[in-house]
């Protein structure tokens, strides 16, 4: 969770400082959006692996009640496409239990 302080107060998009974290993803400030800034730097550091050109990300997503009557499998497969158009479904491992 990138916004625990805001969520605690019921602000799911805004931090305690009133900053809409979704709107600052492209260019976060280290001072005003520290969680977004740190997350982006962490992802860039993982992606800088010279051995591989593949960015490996673990995504945990809590499935809530299916309000749109969409199959949960469909939702899980669609989410990674949001991150980048180079996404390759064949290189993914989808798992619904702990190993």
**What pTM value is reported for the model?**
0.51
* Closest C-alpha among 48, 68, 67 to residue 56: 48
Residues near 94 by beta carbon (within 8 Å), at least 6 away in sequence: 76, 77
C-alpha–C-alpha distance, residues 22 and 81, integer Å: 17
Is 98 domain-assigned? Answer: no
Quick: pLDDT tens for 20-73.
888 898 899 999 999 899 988 887 776 666 555 555 665 555 555 455 666 666
Predicted local confidence at residue 65, as pLDDT: 46
Is 60 domain-assigned? Answer: no
C-alpha–C-alpha distance, residues 63 and 74, integer Å: 12
Is 92 domain-assigned? Answer: no
Instruction: Give the structural domain span for 18.
Output: 4-47
Is 25 domain-assigned? Answer: yes
Is 80 domain-assigned? Answer: no
Predicted local confidence at residue 30, as pLDDT: 93
Is 9 domain-assigned? Answer: yes
Is 59 domain-assigned? Answer: no
More confident residue, 15 or 73: 15
Number of domain units in the chain: 1
């Amino acid at each position: 969770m990138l916004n625990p302080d805001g969520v605690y107060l019921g602000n799911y998009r805004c931090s305690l400082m009133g900053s809409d974290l979704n709107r600052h993803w492209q260019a976060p400030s280290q001072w005003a959006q520290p969680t977004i800034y740190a997350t982006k730097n962490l992802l860039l550091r993982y992606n800088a692996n010279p051995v591989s050109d593949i960015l490996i990300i673990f995504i945990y997503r809590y499935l809530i009640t299916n309000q749109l009557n969409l199959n949960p499998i469909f939702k899980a497969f669609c989410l990674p496409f949001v991150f980048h158009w180079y996404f390759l479904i064949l290189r993914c491992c989808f798992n619904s239990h702990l190993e």
